[in-house]
Chains A and B, each alone.
Chain A
């Protein structure tokens, strides 16, 4: 289901679609709160829930359903700035935003593109790369949970990364290296 279809279903009151939207964007919102604005603990949790509460309430004001990701990024940014302002009692946004927040958001947009490619390379590669890189699981944990020989995990991860790179080159999201 595309982002636009998901938003349209949410707006029609489909609670399962709302759950799918939360699943699709929870990592992104979490990363903006924790990496972009360096929130942790209750601050991060409250900001995270505030973003999804406002998103649910304001979904009707989204003009382009396909643009839900940048809309969520902007909403998350506003929520985080408001929380920082409230804590520091300062008014201009420039004074409270971390100086590198634009760079972090740009990196997260690239990371989203990689995750979209990851979803297309099939299993067990998608699961294995997510466990190792995003969930920070050890070779041993991955081997146990996926019931694979521990000694093969490193080489499998390497092959899966190659597969991911090839998928991104094929789709044009990653430039092919020039022929030497």
Chain B
């Protein structure tokens, strides 16, 4: 293989795909962000839901229909801290 073809191969190797789950989570940022906004609006007016979110965030997200991905949990936790 000539040098320039090797160089092309090397440049193709420089951009491997990101893990599929990470890409899927990034695609969902607008949707999950809106769902978190709605959930936290409800929690602001609902002490029981607020307690549940604080005690067991992952379960509370699950029950609200939000997949508790690493990003969703971290984002929810950050938003909860401003309560």
Contacts and interface: CB of A to CB of B under 8 A. Distances in A.
Q: Is B truly associated with A?
A: yes
Interface of A: 15, 18-19, 22-23, 26-31, 35, 42, 45-46, 48-49, 52-53, 56, 107-108, 110-112, 114-115, 118, 129-130, 133-136, 158, 161-162, 164-165, 168, 174, 177
B65 interface: no
24 contacts: A18-B27, A23-B23, A26-B18, A26-B23, A27-B18, A30-B16, A30-B18, A35-B14, A45-B19, A46-B70, A49-B25, A49-B26, A56-B29, A111-B15, A112-B15, A133-B13, A134-B15, A134-B16, A134-B17, A136-B13, A161-B5, A161-B8, A162-B5, A174-B4
Interface residues of chain B: helix, strand, loop or mixed (majority): helix
Q: Give the bracket for the number of chain B residues in contact with chain A.
A: 20 to 34
Interface of B: 1, 4-5, 8-9, 11-19, 22-23, 25-27, 29-31, 33, 70-71, 74-75
